[in-house]
Chains A and B, each alone.
Chain A
Amino acid sequence: MLEELFPNVKVEDMIEATNETLYMTSVSVAGTFILGLLLGLLLYLSGPGGLWDNKLLNWVTASVVNVFRAIPFIILILLLFPFTDFLMGTIRGPGAALPALIIGGAPFYARLVEIALKEVDKGVIEAAKAMGSKYRTIIFKVLLPESMPALISGITVTAIALISYTAVAGVIGAGGLGDFAYFYGFQRRDFDVVAFCTILIVIIVFIFQFIGDFVSRKLDKR
Chain B
Amino acid sequence: MISIKNLTKVFHTKDQDVRAVDELNLSIGKGEIYGVIGYSGAGKSTFIRLLNRLEEPSSGEIELNNQDLTGLKKNELRLARQEIGMIFQHFNLLWSRTVFDNIAFPLEIAGASKKTREERVNELIELVGLSGRGNSYPSQLSGGQKQRVGIARALANNPKVLLCDEATSALDPETTDSILDLLVDINEKLGLTIVLITHEMHVIRKICHRVAVMEKGKVVEEGDVLDVFLHPKEKVTKRFVDQVMGDPDREESLHLIQENYQSGEVIQLHFVGENTNQALISDLSRKFNVDINILHGKITQTQKGAYGTMLVQLVGDKLVVNQAIDYIRTTSVEVEVDPNA
- Residues of chain A whose beta carbon lies under 8 Å from any beta carbon of chain B: 121, 123-124, 126-134, 137, 141-142, 145-146, 148, 219, 221-222
Contacts and interface: CB of A to CB of B under 8 A. Distances in A.
B88 A127 contact: yes
Most buried by B among A132, A134, A145, A148: A132
Contact of A131 (B77, B82, B96, B139): B82
A198 B57 CA distance: 63
B81 A124 contact: no
Contact of B52 (A123, A130, A148): A130
A146 B109 contact: no
19 contacts: A123-B90, A126-B54, A130-B54, A131-B86, A131-B105, A131-B153, A131-B157, A132-B81, A132-B106, A132-B109, A132-B110, A134-B109, A137-B108, A141-B105, A141-B108, A145-B94, A221-B95, A221-B137, A222-B139
Contact of A129 (B54, B138, B139): B54
B82 A145 contact: no
A127 B86 contact: yes
Query: Which 8 A/B pairs are nearest by Cβ-Cβ distance?
Result: A132-B81, A127-B92, A123-B92, A132-B82, A221-B137, A130-B86, A132-B78, A145-B96
Interface in B56-111: 77-82, 84, 86, 88, 90, 92-97, 105-106, 108-110
Contacts of B84: 130
A221 B108 CA distance: 21
B95 A130 contact: no
A126 to B, nearest CB: 6
Main secondary structure of the interface of B (DSSP, over half): mixed
Most chain A CB within 10 A, of B92, B108, B138, is at: B92
Interface string B40-58: 0000000000001010000
Contacts of A145: 94, 96-97
Contact of A146 (B86, B94, B153, B163): B94
A145 B79 CA distance: 24
A135 B293 CA distance: 67
A132 B156 CA distance: 13
Given A123-B90, A141-B105, A130 B96 contact: no
B103 to A, nearest CB: 11
B90 to A, nearest CB: 6
A121 B92 contact: yes
A51 to B, nearest CB: 12
Given A123-B88, A123-B90, A126-B54, A132 B80 contact: yes
